Amino acid sequence: MTNRCVRTAVAAAVGVVMLAGCSVPVDFPSESASTPGEAGSAAFTPSATPTRTSPPAPVDPIEQYADDRLADMSLRQRISSLLMLHYPGTDAAQLRDFAATNDVGGLILMGDNIPEVPSDLATIIPQLSEDAGLPILTAIDQEGGIVRRLRTDEFAAASTLRTAPPEAARDAFHNRADLLAAAGVSVNFGIVADQTPDTSSFIYSRVLGATPQDAAARVAAAVEGERGTVLSTLKHFPGHGASPADSHSSIPSSDLPLADWSATHAVPFEAGIDAGAELVMFGHLRFTAVDTAPASLSARWHNILRDDLGFEGISITDDMLMLQDSGEPDFADAGLNAITALAAGNTMLLYVLPADAASLGAAPAHLVDVIEGAVGDGRLSEATINDAAHRLLVERRELSGQMGPYEG
């Protein structure tokens, strides 16, 4: 049974108990009551329909835990929990210290985090969280094929899956998810929901379909394959296939109208969301007919994702340092980029930090300082921080498998 099933069962059980104990007694005249006109009798007049008190809604133990823990966190801790960072190496103690010192909500594992014997990762990841009741998210780019951190992953990837039946994608990602879960990984940044028929496009070799419908069928199947084993991520919203350029060195741009986007690039993302994907990764992609800002910094695109596509999960940026790598002056300030990304609606900010992160203005403590300052001067609302932190607390608590109350 998955954590969500357990959570639902507990809430349902609480509701049954409440229902069983909330009946309201109603007095009716006995059959031997006096008839009208007899001494000491009174005619029975039907009273108004008795009021029945509705039972209180069942308490969701995960939501309650998140509420209570959030209330016990400082603003700085809440902000820190919105960061997913990279720290090099395979030393579990160093990785744990880095995560704890910076109070991060997640770590992304890159190639330099994979031990010489990949199966040894399973002994490292359980040591990364100080609190087993609230594990940090551990994420990895495991698409298969040309993008894989665990080299033992020999399962089918996009190059073959895009022309195979959707069931092949389900099986490949089911096996891939088992591999990741066995290593202790909780989040796979592995499902490319982009689509394009352009073989010269930077993203073509990684897409699961050249048409919206082909990609959608395989994206949904991939999510189904991962379900209940690791958290699935759809990337790169709103669709890297709309431009052939590489977002690692530029901000790809498209003038595609919103209506045309809805009929094409939106389709695989909708399919993945409907299949139950828990995360959506925002690309640093510019759709000028919708918003001149990159989607990762655009409130308009976040509203489209949530309001039009119905996504209720965690939104996370692609590596935020890619914005600076684009060379565009407007995105040279890492702190300002972080503020704008959170104000736009991202739940989590991703940073693949280099050794000289401070020289880029991206040292974790500095980022938290800048974001905290933006809350203080009103550029960023505390409610925005709280909403994002709460979403992450819920997801992390579910991953723990524990259902007890927060004890402080």
Candidates 407, 395, 404; CA nearest to 2 is 395
Separation of alpha carbons 149 and 140, rounded Å: 7
Three-state DSSP class for residue 73: coil
Return the structure tokens found at 125. Answer: 């990841």
Catalytic choice (153, 214, 318, 319): 318
Q: Is 248 a catalytic residue?
A: yes
Which secondary structure element, helix H or strand E, spans residue 123, and what is its range? helix 121-124
Return the structure tokens found at 389. Answer: 């932190």
Which secondary structure element, helix H or strand E, spans residue 147, and what is its range? strand 147-148
Tell me the sheet residues that pair with 108. Answer: 139
Separation of alpha carbons 75 and 277, rounded Å: 29
- Give the DSSP letter string of 242-308: G--S-TTTS--EE---HHHHHHTTHHHHHHHHHHT--EEEEPS-EETTT-SS-GGG-HHHHHIIIII
Three-state DSSP class for residue 334: helix
Q: Is 240 a catalytic residue?
A: no
- Estimate the share of the chain in helix, then strand, then coil, as percent rounded to the nearest 5: 45, 10, 45
Contacts with 93 (C-beta within 8 Å, 6 or more apart), sequence order: 127
Catalytic choice (72, 131, 248, 255): 248
Which secondary structure element, helix H or strand E, spans residue 139, and what is its range? strand 137-140
Return the structure tokens found at 305. Answer: 């994702």
Helices then strands, counting H and E runs in the chain, come out as 15, 12
Separation of alpha carbons 405 and 70, rounded Å: 13
- φ, ψ of residue 32 in degrees (nearest 5): -95, 10
Compute, in degrees rounded to 10, the torsion defined by CA atoms 27, 31, 37, 38. -110
How far, in whole angstroms, is CA 288 from its chain's centroid? Answer: 26
Residues that are catalytic: 248, 318
